[in-house]
Structure 1
Amino acid sequence: MRTRSLLTLTAAVAALILPAVSPASAADGTVLTTGGLGGTAVAVGEVLTAPLATGTTATLYSSATGTSGISCASSQFTATVTDNPATPGTATESLDAHTFGSCTANVVGVLGVTSITVNNLPYTTSVTSDGTVTVTPASGSVIQTTVVLRTLLGSINCVYQAPSLVGTADNADNSINFTAQEFTRTSGSSLCFANGYFTAKYAPVTAGDAPVFVN
C-alpha cells in the first residue's frame, strides 16, 4: 500500500512539472506545406505554379449564371512565396504571371479571341489557414485584364477591371477555385459585354513537383 501511494505521489508531481503537449501544439507548422497537412514548410522564395484543373475551362461570362462570353481551354498562374508563417495565419505570395490560351467566344458579332492579357502584375495573393485566397493589386492600382477580340468590324480591345478576387483553396485536390468574380468593363466597344464574371479552377498547385497543402 505504501509503495502504491509513493508511485501515485510521484506521478502527480511529474504531471505538475512536465509540460503538457496539446494536439494543437504538436501539429504546429506553417500555413503552406508539401507532403501533406503538417508536412514540410514551403520556403520563402519558392515558386508555385498551377494549371487549370483537368477537364475544366476558365470562363469570362457576361453574367454570373449565364454561358455567353469567353471560354479558355488553358490557363496557368505562377506565384512566388513571400511569407509563410506559422499556422493558423496568412501566407502571402507575389502573383507574377497569369496566362490564358486556346480561347473562344460565343458572343454575337465576335469571330474569335486574339488574346487575353493580365495587366498590372505582380499582384499580392494571401492564403489564410481557413482556405480563403485573396488576390489584390499594388496600392493605387487595379486588377486588370485586356481582351482582344476579332469582330466583323475588325479587332477591338475590351478592358476589364476588378478591385480584388476571392477564391477558395481545397486540400482534397490541392486546388484554388474562383467562382463568378466580377469585372467591370472600363473601355471597349458595345461588343465588349459590360460586366465579366470570371470562373476557373486551378489544380494542382505545386511547389516544384510537390502538391501544396493549406494548414
Structure 2
Amino acid sequence: MRLRRALALSAAVAPLVLGAVPASAAAPTGPTAPTGLAATSVLTTGGAGGTAVAPGDVLSAPLAAGARATFYSSATSTTGVTCAVSQFTARAVTNPAAPGTATESLTGQTFSSCTSNVTGVTSVKSLTVDHLPYAISVADTPGNPVTITAGTAGAVQATAVLNSWFGTLTCSYQLSGAFTGAADNANHTLSFSNAHFAKSGGSGLCPADGYFSATYGPVADTTQPGSPLVHVN
C-alpha cells in the first residue's frame, strides 16, 4: 500500500521537476513580456534574437559584392546610368519588440564611379539624392519589406548631372508610387528593384523616367564595436 502511494506521488511530481508546465502558465514573450523577461527586438546584431540595435545607432552598407546601382530609362531597359560604388547610411529611430516595425532615417546615399550608355552622353558628372533625410520602415513580416518615404525636406528625389554632346544636362526625378525593397538575413543585404522615378525637372533631352535598382550589404551597425551585422527578426 505504501509502495503504491509513493509511486503515485512520484508520477504527480515528475512533470513539475521536468518543467512540463501547462501552456497557459508559460512566460509570455514579445511586446507583452513582463519586466525582467527579455523581448527580441525587430533589429538585432549577432544574429536572430541577438543584441537589440539601439535608437541612434548608425547602420551602413556598401553595394553588395558584384552589385551595381543602376538608374535605367525603363523597367526592362539597360540604358541609363550605372554606378560601381554606392553607400547607404541610416540612423535607427525606433526598434520595438518583434513582431513589429522598426523605423530609421536615411541620412546618406552616395554614388560614384558612374558611367552612362545613353547616346550623346559622354560622362556622368554626378548622381545625388536630394531632400534627405527620408523615413524608412523595416517590418519583420514575410519577406522583411523595407519602405522609404519622403521626409520633411521634400519628395524623394534623385538628380543626375551628365556631360553630353550638347553640353551639361541636369535631370531630376522624383519617386512615383512606393519605394520598397526587402532585407535578406542570409546575406544581411538590402535590395531595391525597379523603383520608379518620374522626371520632375531638367533638360528636355532627359529621359522621362528612371528605374532604380541596387543591392546593399552587408548592413552593419557601425556605432557598435566591431560593426556587427544587422538581422531582422
Secondary structure of 1:186's match?
strand
C-alpha distance after superposition, 1:107-165 (max 9, x if no partner): 01111110011111000111001311000112583100111011111111100000541
- Output the CA distance in 2 between the equivalents of 1:116 and 1:136: 19
Conservation of the 8 A alpha-carbon contact between 2:132 and 2:153: no
- Residue identity in the other structure for 2:221: A
TM normalised by structure 1 equals 0.92
Using the TM superposition, give the Cα deviation of residue 191 of structure 1 relative to its aligned residue in structure 2, in angstroms.
2.5
State how 1:15-164 maps to structure 2 within 5 Å.
15=21, 19-21=25-27, 28-130=39-141, 131-138=144-151, 141-162=154-175, 163-164=177-178
Structure 2 unmatched runs, 5+: none
Q: 1:196 aligns to what? A: 210
Shift of 1:12: 6.6
Amino acid at match of 1:184: A
What's the C-alpha RMSD, in Å, of the aligned pairs?
2.3
Partner secondary structure for residue 141 of structure 1: coil
Q: For 1:7, what is the secondary structure of its paired residue? A: helix
Which residue of structure 1 aligns with residue 231 of structure 2?
A: 213
The residue that corresponds to 1:3 in the other structure is 6
Instruction: Determine which structure has more spread, i.e. the larger CA radius of gyration.
Output: 2
- SS of residue in 2 equivalent to 1:184: strand
Residue 188 of structure 1, CA deviation = 2.0
Distance in 2, matches of 1:128 and 1:204, equals 18
Q: CA deviation at 1:54?
A: 1.1
CA contact (8 A) 1:34 1:211 kept: yes
Q: Distance in 2 between matches of 1:182 and 1:189?
A: 19
Comparing 26-35 with 110-119, which one deviates more in the overlay?
26-35
Q: Write out per-residue CA displacement over residues 50-88 of structure 1, whole angstroms, 9 at most, x where no aligned residue.
A: 100011100000111110000000001111100010001
Q: Which segment is superposed worse, 107-116 or 137-146? A: 137-146
| CA distance in structure 2 between the partners assigned to 1:16 and 1:108 by the alignment | 71
Take 2:50 and 2:57, find their aligned partners in 1: how far apart are those partners? 15
- Letter of the structure 2 residue corresponding to residue 3 of structure 1: A
Equivalent residues, number: 215
> What's the counterpart of residue 199 of structure 2?
185
TM-score (norm 2): 0.85
CA distance in 1, matches of 2:196, 2:49: 34
Q: Normalized per residue, which structure has more strand? A: 1
